[in-house]
Structure 1
Amino acid sequence: MIKACIFDLDGVIVDTARYHFIAWKALADELGFDFTEKDNERLKGVSRMTSLDILLEIGGLDLPKEKKEELAKRKNEHYRSFILEMTPDEILPGAMKFIKELKDNDLKIALGSASKNAMTILDRLELTSWFDAVIDGTKVSNAKPDPEVFLKGAEALNLPPSECVVFEDAEAGVEAALAGGMKCVGIGSPEVLGKANLVVPGLHEMDIEKLSRL
């Protein structure tokens, strides 16, 4: 019996990808080279330092570790300046309705996100109070497809993984959920997320009935 839902943040509840792109582009501009949306495709689902290495490769730059750490910090400052301007209007279609439906049916809700800015984003979206537990990048040491973030979410809810459903938009996230012994709903394309128990284009396509059939 399903008793809880654990949500990834970016691409499921909100889309911050454009803010990451703008922040990386600003950094590239400062370094004196162009960074395009096509280039940005290579950064999706990649850690901040690996993303920086790709960016520097595109710019033909080889920098020492100390300089790279400084640049990664600067990129995050750019990004944070953007997300501090976010509003509840940026919640993806159907997310709020589904979250309310879960609460009305006494299901618990947790966040399982690798982002270290997750709490800031939830606060800006006025969503923090809806979550019974938040596991973000400050509380985990292993990246997806390791199931750590979701297992910690289940633990924080005092539930076994088998009673939790994960909502994910990335292949590595789906693999993490399944590795943790949880059901998973993929948000996006069946071609990419085919391992999930169910794939829908967005939370606007989810309801309690579909959840109960998993």
Structure 2
Amino acid sequence: MVKFSDIKGFVFDLDGVVTDTSKYHAEAWGQLATKLNIDYPGIGDAVKGIGRMDALELILKKGGVENDYTPEQKEALATEKNTNYVQLIQNMTAKDILPGMADFLKSLRDNGYGISLASASRNAPTILAKIGLSDYFTKTVDPANLKNGKPDPEIFIKGAQLLNLDPSQCIGLEDAVAGIQGINAAGEVSVGIGDPQMLNKAAINFIDTTQVTLDNIKKAMA
């Protein structure tokens, strides 16, 4: 078992951990699904934590039309969804930071911990700028350079590499099952934020972001 004293860095997911953009993603995917005449009531939960193209495939399969589009047409559909999403996030501000996360990030920086971002969102830089947290995330994995999406551990391994740390020296924070699987596979300590039954593979679980503090993590790892 990794000791808290071994931890030197924290690798963050963005959506549902630092800020809640899942509602904007769900709305943007919903707009696309409606256009394609696909009825998908649970679309928000289904696409949570996975990459854009993987999410599109899920939606097309739901409608039974996954073979009706060429790779180029699928790319165009994903781009259309992103255009919808970018329009929706333009009004985000610091008020969209999840409760307690600004204080947590400050405590990490004040105590000398490395911080990196491991988000599948290609819009992460825009979102961080909108909510005023860009200065904390100068180390950000570029999802465009990844070969595999979550639950593959690649993005979390790269998040540790950006901090010049071994994954075993890092804690990963996620709110999605696929993300927790990726963190565990990377060999990092997983912190799940949300329903403990859904995130039952996380090494540490907090119901919401208000519980995420250095002291609480230290206690959980004692």
TM, length-normalised to structure 1: 0.88
Measured in 2, the distance between the counterparts of 1:39 and 1:181 equals 30
Q: Hey, what does 1:178 align to over in structure 2?
A: 184
Q: Hey, what does 1:38 align to over in structure 2?
A: 42
Question: Which residue identity is paired with 2:152?
Answer: D
Render the CA deviation track for 1:12-45: whole Å, top value 9, x for unaligned. 11111111122122223434x3645434443334
Question: Cα distance, 1:6 vs. partner?
Answer: 0.9
Q: Are 1:198 and 2:215 an aligned pair?
A: no
- Relative to structure 1, the CA distance from residue 46 to residue 160 in structure 2 (aligned partners, 3 Å threshold; closer, same or farther) is closer
Q: Hey, what does 2:3 align to over in structure 1?
A: none
- Which region of structure 1 is more displaced relative to structure 2, 171-180 or 2-11? 171-180
- Which region of structure 1 is more displaced relative to structure 2, 45-54 or 121-130? 45-54
Alignment match of 1:13 (pick from 18, 32, 51): 18
- Could you say what secondary structure the match of 1:103 adopts? helix
Alignment match of 2:132 (pick from 126, 136, 142): 126
Question: Cα distance, 1:116 vs. partner?
Answer: 1.3
Question: Which residue identity is paired with 1:63?
Answer: D
Measured in 2, the distance between the counterparts of 1:47 and 1:208 equals 29
Equivalent pair of 2:49/2:120 in contact (CA under 8 Å): no
Question: Cα distance, 1:54 vs. partner?
Answer: 4.1
**5+ long unaligned stretches in structure 2:** 1-5
Question: Cα distance, 1:203 vs. partner?
Answer: 2.2
- Which region of structure 1 is more displaced relative to structure 2, 38-47 or 136-145? 38-47
- Which region of structure 1 is more displaced relative to structure 2, 188-197 or 67-76? 67-76
- Could you say what secondary structure the match of 2:10 adopts? strand
- Could you say what secondary structure the match of 1:114 adopts? coil
Measured in 2, the distance between the counterparts of 1:119 and 1:39 equals 25
Render the CA deviation track for 1:113-148: whole Å, top value 9, x for unaligned. 111111111111111111241113123221122211
- Relative to structure 1, the CA distance from residue 162 to residue 41 in structure 2 (aligned partners, 3 Å threshold; closer, same or farther) is closer
Percent identity over the alignment is 42
Question: Which residue identity is paired with 1:28?
Answer: A
- Could you say what secondary structure the match of 1:12 adopts? coil
Superposed counterparts of 1:62-77, under 5 Å = 63-65=68-70, 66-77=72-83
Aligned residues: 213
- Relative to structure 1, the CA distance from residue 28 to residue 176 in structure 2 (aligned partners, 3 Å threshold; closer, same or farther) is closer
- Could you say what secondary structure the match of 2:129 adopts? helix
Equivalent pair of 1:187/1:202 in contact (CA under 8 Å): yes
